[in-house]
Amino acid sequence: MENVTTLGEFIIEKQQDFPGSTGEFSRLLSAIRLASKIVSQQVNKAGLLSHILGAVGSQNIQGEDQQKLDVYANNQFIKALRARKVVAGIASEENDDFIPINPDGQYIVSMDPLDGSSNIDVNVSIGTIFSIYKRVTPKGSPVSMEDFLQKGTEQLAAGYVIYGSSTMLVYTTGKGVNGFTYDPGLGVFILSHPNLKTPEKGKIYSINEGNYQKSPAGVQKYIQYAQQIDKESNRPYTARYIGSLVADFHRNLIKGGVYMYPSTTSAPNGKLRLLYECNPIAFIIEQAGGKASDGENRIMEIEPNDLHQRVPFFVGNSDMVEKLEGFLREEA
Ligand code: AHM
Ligand code: MG
């Protein structure tokens, strides 16, 4: 294969952009790459696992306990990150508290190891989301809550893995967004989407419309706007909603659109989590030329106060997010 760049090569190439770099950050990204491959392989066998090799909670033919896939993914990512020794601590959707790793490590990872897990049993795309920070407490001491409660603007890197019709890893270190497609035969991620930018104009809106009556008036108004016929602005938009943030976001990033998870009367802060769902996705969309907002504020500027904090989330093409913010302001 000519002119093919693997993720491994890309990481090393980019390390040279940081003179004096110790390679620790590259080791951290390599850990994520490794865990993604392991999880991808297991995700591809998900149907077999539950129906043929034994249901969750039972033992498989090797006598090993079957784990739920989200628990499995969590364990794999923690194991890979722990092995590289550069990580000081991890926060995960799967764990109530943060996990201290190596007091001498300088990096903090927040992650949702398997998002959209209600889609596993029905063979629909799911994903992993991650966000990387530098710790704020001194190296050599155990991590504390303040290391995790940093604003999104402090992220060093963020990304996601989509386990879809193919597996892709998409990430940013603040210098644009790059996407890598996994070749399971070769066992490598290959740079397939260099310098990803979201199209200037979007035409997709993605929201759980079953929550219409429970959504703020501004969001209802935006949905009506999206459905109006207006040739000039390319409306009506197309509605697409998978119920798997990574997949919904990834499609909109490539094709252009807006994803919405507003506050609802039953979930006043929305559903999605600031630290390991919204902030990493926000970093990526901004790097790809779009915008992420809670309806009023830039997502990455929200001061976090809890590991599992939820926020309303609107992300996509800048003009679509701004239009929506306008409706929310008018109807407030
Ligand atoms: P999870 O972290 O429990 O998997 O939930 C997050 C998921 C997102 O992937 C998705 O966008 C959203 O929940 C869908 O929620 P709903 O079913 O309410 O539309
Ligand atoms: Mg999740």
What is the SS3 assignment for 184-234? Answer: CCCCEEEEEECCCCCCCCCCEEECCHHHHHHCCHHHHHHHHHHHCCEHHHC
- Pair 209, 185 in one domain: no
**Is the pLDDT assigned to residue 15 strictly greater than 90?**
no
As for ligand 1, residues whose beta carbon falls within 6 Å of it are: 93, 112, 115-117, 208, 243-245, 248, 271
With bands split at pLDDT 50, 70 and 90, how would you rate the model's confidence at 16? confident
Instruction: Return the H-helix or E-strand segment holding 129.
Output: strand 126-134
Please say which residue of 144, 161, 193 terminates a domain: 193
**Is the pLDDT assigned to residue 289 strictly greater than 60?**
yes
Neighbours of 52 (CB within 10 A): 11
- Pair 79, 176 in one domain: yes
Q: Which residue has the tokens 């090393």?
A: 12
Share of residues in the chain with pLDDT > 90 (%): 81
pLDDT for res 21: 74
- Pair 184, 210 in one domain: no
Q: Does residue 38 lie within any of the structural domains?
A: yes
Residue 309 lies in domain = 204-331
CATH number at residue 109: 3.30.540.10
Instruction: Return the H-helix or E-strand segment holding 255.
Output: helix 245-255
* Three-class SS state of 238: strand
Give 170's strand partners: 160, 179
Q: How far apart are CA 248 and CA 38, in angstroms?
A: 23
CATH number at residue 257: 3.40.190.80
- Pair 182, 241 in one domain: no
Which residue, judged by its Cα, is nearest atom 4 of ligand 1?
116
Neighbours of 2 (CB within 10 A): 3
Which residue, judged by its Cα, is nearest atom 18 of ligand 1?
208
Q: How far apart are CA 31 and CA 21, in angstroms?
A: 17
Q: How far apart are CA 312 and CA 216, in angstroms?
A: 11
118 Cα: distance to centroid of ligand 2 (angstroms)? 10
Cα pseudo-dihedral 88, 93, 98, 100, rounded to 10? -40
Report which bound ligand comes closest to the CA of 251.
1
With bands split at pLDDT 50, 70 and 90, how would you rate the model's confidence at 88? very high
The pTM for the full model equals 0.95
Which residue, judged by its Cα, is nearest atom 2 of ligand 1?
115
Share of residues in the chain with pLDDT > 70 (%): 92
**Is the pLDDT assigned to residue 12 strictly greater than 60?**
yes
Please say which residue of 193, 225, 247 terminates a domain: 193
Report which bound ligand comes closest to the CA of 244.
1
| Sign of the dihedral through C-alpha 298, 299, 304, 310 | positive
The total domain count for the chain is 2
Give 238's strand partners: 204
Query: Could you identify the atom of ligand 1 that is nearest to the CA of residue 117?
Result: 4
- Which of 31-40, 120-129, 176-185, 287-296 shows the lowest mean pLDDT across its residues? 120-129
Pocket test for ligand 1, best of 245, 269, 278, 281 (most atoms within 8 A of CB): 245
With bands split at pLDDT 50, 70 and 90, how would you rate the model's confidence at 61? low
pLDDT for res 309: 97
pLDDT for res 265: 97
Tens of pLDDT, residue by residue over 23-40, are: 888 899 999 999 999 999
Q: How far apart are CA 236 and CA 230, in angstroms?
A: 7
Tell me the Cα Rg of the chain. Answer: 20
Query: Could you identify the atom of ligand 1 that is nearest to the CA of residue 272?
Result: 6
Q: How far apart are CA 14 and CA 242, in angstroms?
A: 34
Please say which residue of 193, 220, 244 terminates a domain: 193
Tens of pLDDT, residue by residue over 158-217, are: 999 999 999 999 999 999 999 999 999 999 999 999 999 999 999 999 999 999 999 999
pLDDT for res 122: 86
**Is the pLDDT assigned to residue 98 strictly greater than 60?**
yes
- Pair 223, 157 in one domain: no
- Pair 189, 275 in one domain: no
Give the count of alpha carbons within 13 A of 219, CB side only. Answer: 27
126 Cα: distance to centroid of ligand 2 (angstroms)? 10
24 Cα: distance to centroid of ligand 1 (angstroms)? 33
- Pair 273, 149 in one domain: no
Mean pLDDT to the nearest integer, 291-307: 98
**Is the pLDDT assigned to residue 20 strictly greater than 80?**
no
Mean pLDDT to the nearest integer, 58-84: 80
